[in-house]
Amino acid sequence: MAKFYLIGKISAELMKRMQNEPTADRFASTKKATEAAGLKLISYEWVRGRFDVISCVEGEYEQAVALKIAFKNSGLMDDLMVHEVIDYNKAFSNAANAANSVIKPGK
């Protein structure tokens, strides 16, 4: 099972709804949608900065993309990025192997 971070910016519509109902349980509704997409919700945090929310989920890439599509199509999110956690040692090891096979023109 892969781990993903979803980083999003909420829409003006959601911001207005939350202002009108500041005690709404966004964690519960996010967990319900996450599980409906087949993912396990690990964490859900509101943050300061360019983006508003960060959640960590476990599952398959297609499930994470499905969650992104569902939230974007709901009109509640203006932007939602999906970032998969990778094994950077394996990535750089593969890059080192590939670099040995690169043939530069004229050599």
Low-confidence ranges of the chain (pLDDT < 50): none
Evaluate whether 41 touches 30 at the Cβ level (below 8 Å): yes
Evaluate whether 54 touches 47 at the Cβ level (below 8 Å): yes
Dihedral (CA of 36, 40, 46, 51) sign: negative
Evaluate whether 7 touches 53 at the Cβ level (below 8 Å): yes
Evaluate whether 27 touches 44 at the Cβ level (below 8 Å): yes
For residue range 51-72, list pLDDT tens digits in order. 999 999 999 999 999 999 999 9
Q: What is the pLDDT of residue 105?
A: 87
- Taking Cα atoms as reference points, which of 74, 52, 49 lies closest to residue 6? 52
Supply the pTM of this predicted model. Answer: 0.85
d(CA 24, CA 34): 17
Query: In a 3-state reduction of DSSP, which class is residue 27?
Result: helix
Q: What is the pLDDT of residue 87?
A: 95
Q: What is the pLDDT of residue 102?
A: 87
Q: What is the mean pLDDT of the chain?
A: 95
Domains of the chain by start residue, with CATH: 2-99 (3.30.70.1060)
Q: What is the pLDDT of residue 104?
A: 83
